[in-house]
Amino acid sequence: MRASFRLGRVAGVPVGVNWSVLVIFALIAWGLAARQFPRAYPGEPLWAYVLAGLAAAVVFFAGLLAHEVAHAVVARRNGLGVEGITLWLFGGVSELKGEAPDPGAELRIAGIGPLVSLIIGVLFGGAAVALALTGQRGLPVGALSWLAGINLLLAIFNVLPAAPLDGGRLLRAAVWKATGDRTRASVVAARAGWVLGALLIGLGLWQFLVGAGIGGLWLVLIGWFLIGAATMEERQARVGSALRGVRVADVMTPQPQTASAEMTVGDFVDHYLFAYRHSALPLTEDGQPVGLVTLDRVRHVAADRRGATTLAEVACRADELVLAQPEEPLTDLLPRLSECADGRALVVVDGRLVGIVSPSDISRAVQRSSMREQLAAPR
């Protein structure tokens, strides 16, 4: 999940926000300010409901951020790198480099997030009770109670034993510990996620048909997301198992042909298109990558604009490039390949381009690994 804009750093971890957060933020603030708070606490001025709704929504997302920061901090303490944190429609995502080294680390990294949400919920609940004991019965108590409930619900939902939820990671740690097989554990957790997603879709459709309205559709959307994410996790687990021990240098195309960012699309079509056998062309300056252009990007440039459009204008920009080191495990690179829409990674040494990794390179590596296992299997 790519961030639409950056908020800064928390505990040394870059934090970004995807535009979809604005949708759920608006829905939460509107639901509280226009419906829940006026029904529970009638007679307050409109500005008070709006202020309470906005404040509760902001604090809710601060709690989500704390949840993800906890994952990131514990992951770093267990030897994993952290690319960043992105808040989006369904919560937050901590972008970790690599995998937990053992079931214990997996347990600690996965478990800390729900634990933080639980603590936040208990603290807000305690604050709401304390205010109520002093005789307060208005919006402050309502906002604190809602924050307590939503954080407790977040903690409970996240420990459900199904990938990609934190509970799925806990299940994977347990199965991994019991069987000693990381791939098998990942598949079990992913299939549990598929089952949970299907159940949520069924429940959501039933609620919608009996008149529950948008709440049922929201469950359907969550279930659809869980099924998609679980299916992807199972696929990644199987591919990761096949590629374990393979380095980036083992699969990359070394010393790829490059072009200048200042070259026009017209020149590229006339001089490179048929002479170059690959579908992606790195752009370099003094040997350092500054962009990546693909045939798909070039195809969208109108013929009458090709002479005035440079490759830099249509390329994947330097800050969007996925960079890798030759000695880096290929399994660490795979999750990052989706960061650029072109699905390629540029391999660099001391900042200079030495190779490129494409989806076809990955496919060939998987095929070779599978063939090697078949040949090595006893007959």
- The pLDDT tens digits for 292-305 are 988 888 888 988 89
pLDDT number for residue 290: 93
278 is in an annotated binding site: no
166 is in an annotated binding site: yes
**Strand pairing of 352-357 and 323-324?**
unpaired
Domains and CATH numbers, the chain: 5-243 (no CATH), 248-369 (3.10.580.10)
Q: Which residue has the higher pLDDT, 336 or 150?
A: 150
250 is in an annotated binding site: no
- Residue 364 above 90 pLDDT? no
pLDDT number for residue 311: 92
Q: Predicted confidence band at 240 (pLDDT cuts at 50, 70, 90)?
A: confident
Edge-first strand order for the sheet with 253-254 is 253-254, 352-357, 345-349, 323-324
SS3 79: coil
C-alpha to C-alpha distance for 371 and 66, rounded to whole angstroms: 45
User: Per residue in 189-234, pLDDT tens?
Assistant: 999 999 999 999 999 999 888 876 677 788 898 999 999 989 988 8
Six-digit token string for 148: 């307590």
C-alpha to C-alpha distance for 258 and 293, rounded to whole angstroms: 10
Percentage with pLDDT > 90 across the chain: 53
Q: For the residues 50-69, what does the mean pLDDT come to?
A: 95
Q: Which residues are 247's β-sheet partners?
A: 329
User: Per residue in 93-151, pLDDT tens?
Assistant: 888 877 888 999 999 999 999 999 999 999 999 999 999 998 888 899 999 999 999 99
Active site residue 68: yes
C-alpha to C-alpha distance for 224 and 227, rounded to whole angstroms: 5
C-alpha to C-alpha distance for 71 and 258, rounded to whole angstroms: 40
> Which of these is catalytic: 44, 68, 83, 313?
68
